[in-house]
């Protein structure tokens, strides 16, 4: 069964840009190499499109950067990791 560990970064108003790393993650599975695992946003946790996944990072989209720079707090997201068998 794959496992994912996530660490969030602090983002400051007026300093966010598209591509800013909002968090990092490590996905592991004893039976599957990392490149065989699929990482997705859980359910509708990124419904507003503030984030995207890039490698082992969750980064801000332009919409997310604009939201932060307007003084708003980004909503919490959840990530799901699955292996090729769907576990």
31 φψ region: left (φ > 0), alpha (ψ -120 to 50), beta (else): alpha
What single-letter DSSP state applies at residue 72? P
- Ramachandran class of 34: left when φ > 0, alpha when ψ lies in -120 to 50, beta otherwise: alpha
pLDDT at 14: 96
pLDDT in the model for residue 31: 87
Give the whole-angstrom CA distance, residue 33 versus residue 45: 26
In sequence order, the 6+-apart residues with CB closer than 8 A to the CB of 83 are: 2, 29, 31, 32, 36, 37, 38
Name the pTM for this structure.
0.89
pLDDT in tens, 19-75: 999 999 999 998 888 888 999 999 999 999 999 999 999 999 999 999 999 999 999
pLDDT value of residue 35: 81
């Amino acid at each position: 069964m794959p496992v994912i560990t996530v660490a969030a970064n602090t983002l400051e108003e007026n300093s966010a840009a598209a591509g800013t790393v909002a968090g990092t993650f490590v996905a592991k599975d004893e039976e599957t190499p990392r490149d065989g695992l699929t990482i997705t946003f859980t359910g509708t946790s990124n419904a507003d499109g503030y984030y995207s996944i890039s490698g082992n990072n969750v980064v801000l989209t332009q919409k997310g950067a604009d939201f932060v720079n307007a003084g708003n707090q980004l909503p919490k997201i959840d990530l799901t990791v699955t292996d090729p068998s769907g576990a």
